[in-house]
Amino acid sequence: MSKNYNYAFLDEGSKREIRRATLKAVAIPGYQVPFGSRELPIGRGWGTGGIQLTLSLIGPGDVLKVIDQGSDESVNAVNIKKFVGLCTDIETTTETPEATLIQSRHRIPEIPLKNGQILIFQVPLPEPLRIVEAREEVTKKMHAEKDYAPLWLQLYESLIRYKKVTLASEYPCLVEGRYMMNPSPIPRFDNPKLHKAECLYLFGAGREKKIYAVPPYTDVVSLAFDDVPFEIESFGGKHCRLCGSTDTYLDEVFDQQSGKRFHQCSDTSYCRKLSSQKAQNRE
């Protein structure tokens, strides 16, 4: 552990402010609590909100897992793990069930999270109403008045124009019947995992200076009309080329040399575990 910095990098005053904001966020599920986002040794927009949440939470005894689009080995995930490791000395893992804290960019792991685990999202744009209203003061008022009509209208326009809802990610959802929330750019496939989950979900947007949360066992309902129900992505019978899974979120991989397209699990940890289990069974 580097002795040149405070434990978990941030000074204690910064941690306290983030902690206070997080407690309010848990008390008001889905509400975006403003906070004074700190400077970090990485640029805003590269996961600073999630990192600040992680640094305010982490302590001796924690086990950290960091994923980027489901992958434990991507540059962003590896560097965040290294950074947190340098200033805390905590243990890191790639196994979802072993982790007490999981920081994620754009995915929820395939293995259901348990009570006591905390999933921290890196959020680029926390405001679900930004797509229909550019001014912060107006979106704040819209949340206060629970005025979500423009968002419903946008969904309706999408249905009229394209005969389906065309939002691939950042699909808005209503938290505990009150706040419209942007679940960060997770695919629609992951939206149902937010509903009545056992774990605590925390969302940190460093650039936009907002923290929000979904406590365990909270109603999180993806926006849908009575006659047009919410649908997750369909992979049309495709399976992972490595583990053969058909019920996971699949990434499409294009091989430039052969010109072929493959599909494989986005959650690398889950895929690796399943592949090794299958290999063991074959032996």
Partner 1 sequence: MKTSLSKKHDFDAVFDSQKVYRLVLEALSHPTKVVSIQEHANKLQGSNPAYLALAMTLLDNEVSFNTCENRQLSDEISSLTHATRTVVEEADFIFVSEAGDWVAVIEHAQCGSLANPHSSATVIVQNKQNSGAPLNQLTFRGPGIDARATVLVTQTVKEILELRDAQCYEYPQGIDLIFVSDEGALFAIPRLVSFDGASQADDSFSFPPFLQALRSLFEEPSKLKEVE
C-beta of 12: minimal distance to partner 1 in Å?
6
Q: Which of 43, 45, 59, 112 binds partner 1 (CB under 8 A)?
A: 59
Confirm whether 271 is a catalytic residue: yes
Instruction: Please give the single-letter amino acid code of residue 103.
Output: Q
* Site mask for partner 1 (CB under 8 A), range 115-134, x = bound: -x------------------
Q: Which of 29, 49, 50, 206 binds partner 1 (CB under 8 A)?
A: 29
How many residues of this chain interact with partner 1, rule: CB under 8 A? 43
User: Using CB atoms within 10 A of its CB, is residue 212 exposed (0-12), middle (13-18) or buried (19+)?
Assistant: buried
Q: Which is nearer to partner 1, 195 or 238 (CB)?
A: 195
Q: Which residues contact 38 (CB under 8 A, 6 or more apart)?
A: 10, 14, 48, 52
Q: Which is nearer to partner 1, 34 or 43 (CB)?
A: 34
Question: Which one from 30, 47, 49, 206 is the annotated catalytic residue?
Answer: 30
Q: Which is nearer to partner 1, 6 or 246 (CB)?
A: 6
* Site mask for partner 1 (CB under 8 A), range 170-189, x = bound: ------x-xx----------
Bridge partners of 9, per DSSP, are: 6
C-beta of 91: minimal distance to partner 1 in Å?
16
Distances (CA, A) of 127 to 33, 45, 123, 140, 181: 11, 15, 10, 9, 7
The DSSP annotation for 7-68 comes to: TTBS-HHHHHHHHHHHHHHHHSTT--EE--PPP-SS-TTSSHHHHHHHHHH--TT-EEEEEE
Q: Which residues contact 212 (CB under 8 A, 6 or more apart)?
A: 25, 29, 30, 31, 32, 33, 126, 181, 202, 203
C-beta of 193: minimal distance to partner 1 in Å?
16
C-beta of 46: minimal distance to partner 1 in Å?
25
Question: Which one from 87, 173, 199, 240 is the annotated catalytic residue?
Answer: 240
Residue 201 in tokens: 């979900």
Q: What is the separation, in whole angstroms, between the first and last Cα of the chain?
A: 42
Q: Which of 13, 43, 45, 112 binds partner 1 (CB under 8 A)?
A: 13
Site residues, partner 1 (CB under 8 A): 6-8, 12-13, 15-17, 19-29, 31, 33-34, 56-60, 116, 140-141, 143-145, 176, 178-179, 200, 213, 215-219
